[in-house]
Structure 1
């Protein structure tokens, strides 16, 4: 992801789709184009070597992030670029953040890959036909989209001869100095050939679900509803009614710090329960938190202004016309937390789901993000609670592929 990395440009993309066809000239193809193309390198492919697979690392940037006291250290942009290949199946995608010298940037060095989304401007979204198709999305947890399940399923996201990618990076700098960063995206792919046809490679369809509403022009980041308490849930409404059928290969989700996980439901039943983990490696442990703190003091007290906004646990909040806020039936009592969340621990992974079942036409789908600020410190911007997110991206092999 005021619009987030999801669809700051849904309407923009819809109006420009007709203008983005690439030059059909097959020679001198460059897998990265534009002002933000930093570097392209070949890596050893991990999957489908028998299909002459390839793996490219395309780096975008450098991006200059302002110091934390300017715009809360945020940098956002968007740009068009070529995909890594044409007539090919993307079998895995992963994004990381680096400094221009190639070393890793993370919360322990005061730089966050707050969000990055990759959209296909030429293809329409399944859940929002007026918007471009979201191929990949990630937060600072940097989850890999294992579309082929590490090469165990002959499937991938197909890139047509005239497709064009649109990247939306959002970075965050918690240092008091300007920093530069590069987003490195690893694309693993299999080219359409007699080999891949014989192997039965199938196309996947991305399905995007968002607590702020699938087709909202402001979709992505949600302001924490007033009065919901320190433990609350946000659910997408209305549900999305499926108009496709097929096998779900892989499901990945995303929440912000303070979140415990994200659930995907089909007809009211949980299909995927993505659980968030914190501080698993040193890259996700920082000394100062974000911009000097996450709303909790050293004594475990919640900032009074934030406390008043959150309200008591039995309150209920609702985001107008979009995400629905609910809380468990509990009373959080005193303003002091009995077990204050440990400072400086950030989301380091969110569990994913593989082969969780099928999607059928007429199914009702929704996504729910769960937050508990008593367990995990929330993100703050400018002294107030930062917006939260709850999204999920499913990859589906439709029937007939």
Structure 2
């Protein structure tokens, strides 16, 4: 990257709290093109929701614990936003919020151990925003910024860290999700373990990057949601996990050329030479449509093959509901408000009677049929990615793949390899053009480590 680009990016990171969006120089990758004007100033039509039409759920909601096997565990749901995602400028196109940075967002707790998490996208009334209504959680990345939070694979420079106002030496990417909405487990039912967590301290700051897509002609208001499972404090029996982010565009924007419409191709990440030791608890992958698998290769041996599940809009809703319930079991497809928080009243939205008769209530969102540039034959997209883990308990109601390694040892060479084949699964195009959108190949591995992030 040229020096001028580094200076521009650093300046953006320093001033990100004072300006609404950050912009990059011309010809930067799509992921680095941040919006510089408000939607209203750009003349983009907005869908204005009538405040009386629905009762907004609270920003932070206390949920029933999703880890009843762990004493004193808690679950909260946090709604981040709202995000007004611009509508498509032409029929069949898409409107985007491209990698919008938020340098400081709510944490689920002040002093605790996070046990797991998963992301989602929903409308103001709490209904799931998904491909059935032409909305996509394209991707999001959560950072923890604080003492001892150093990025394992980007020790010196990281473009994503800069745009949330930090550096890799004092922050790390702890969680990410695409529209597959995979649940991250630190104490999974297949592992026979209940004492693993990621530590959070009062001085820690969460930062986030969000990338959302809207294939409707009108702008849509939505909220990014994250369900967090945690236990208060840092009990002495708890052990820490550390995330290891692997990326084909490591320390950059994660974007790789999508080639041509009939291409079959693969690409690899730079090798990461392990710089700490621990026990590998699991890993998973992230691909865009058209992807066939992500391999993790350690010392030239494949230890994980994370494969996608392609499904319909209804199946995507089912997977989203499974994630909300904790990642296991069978989820029923629904467009209704997600599981209610404890003690939160289920008050019918005003205008419900009109909706029951087939007339949209004032200010209510419309649910158009899916379609557009990201639609494929049979309307199938990636709805899940398998997690590579040691499935001791024989779990069979979620996508799991074998894990071929137990120990993380200093000096090991770790490489990610991602595969795409548009002849097998059609890829994403740029709007209504014949050009292919950029793609990704990402994985996050979590390792149990004896090292304490912050000595106590």
Report the TM-score range of the alignment, normalised by the length of the smaller protein. 0.7 to 0.9
Does 2:447 align with 1:396? yes
1:280-337 alpha-carbon deviations (Å, 9 max, x no partner): 561549965443756xxxxxxxxxxxxxxxxxxxxxxxxxxxxxxxxxxxxxxxxxxx
Give the Cα separation in 2 of the matches to 1:81 and 1:252: 25
Q: Unaligned stretches of 5+ in structure 2?
A: 1-7, 16-56, 157-167, 318-367, 391-402
1:49-68 alpha-carbon deviations (Å, 9 max, x no partner): 65311111000111111112
Give the Cα separation in 1 of the matches to 2:9 and 2:445: 19
Structure 2 partner of 1:351 = 386
Query: Which TM-score applies when normalising by structure 1?
Result: 0.73
The aligned runs of 1:202-221 (5 Å cut-off) are 202-212=239-249, 214-216=250-252, 219-221=253-255
Does 2:442 align with 1:376? no
1:248-296 alpha-carbon deviations (Å, 9 max, x no partner): 11212100000012111111111111010111561549965443756xx
Q: Which runs of 4+ in 1 moved over 6 A?
A: 12-16
- Contact persistence 1:92–1:147 (CA under 8 A): yes
Give the Cα separation in 2 of the matches to 1:157 and 1:10: 29
User: How far off its partner does 1:148 sit?
Assistant: 1.8
Does 2:157 align with 1:140? no
Partner residue of 1:185 out of 226, 229, 247:
226
Identify if the C-alpha distance between structure 1 residues 202 and 48 changes in structure 2 by more than 3 Å, giving closer, same or farther. farther
1:72-103 alpha-carbon deviations (Å, 9 max, x no partner): 31013221123111221111101111110111
The aligned runs of 1:1-400 (5 Å cut-off) are 39-47=59-67, 51-69=71-89, 72-76=94-98, 77-79=100-102, 80-122=104-146, 123-130=149-156, 131=168, 132-150=171-189, 152-153=192-193, 154-192=195-233, 196-197=235-236, 200-212=237-249, 214-216=250-252, 219-225=253-259, 230-237=263-270, 239-279=271-311, 282=314, 284=316, 289-291=371-373, 342-355=377-390, 356=403, 357-382=406-431, 383=433, 384-399=435-450
Give the Cα separation in 2 of the matches to 1:192 and 1:288: 45
1:127-152 alpha-carbon deviations (Å, 9 max, x no partner): 11232300100000000111221484
Query: Which TM-score applies when normalising by structure 2?
Result: 0.65
User: How far off its partner does 1:245 sit?
Assistant: 1.0
Q: CA RMSD in A?
A: 2.7
User: How far off its partner does 1:229 sit?
Assistant: 5.9
Identify if the C-alpha distance between structure 1 residues 267 and 50 changes in structure 2 by more than 3 Å, giving closer, same or farther. closer
Give the Cα separation in 1 of the matches to 2:450 and 2:175: 22
User: How far off its partner does 1:234 sit?
Assistant: 1.2
Identify if the C-alpha distance between structure 1 residues 50 and 269 changes in structure 2 by more than 3 Å, giving closer, same or farther. closer
Give the Cα separation in 2 of the matches to 1:292 and 1:94: 24
Say how many residue pairs are matched: 318
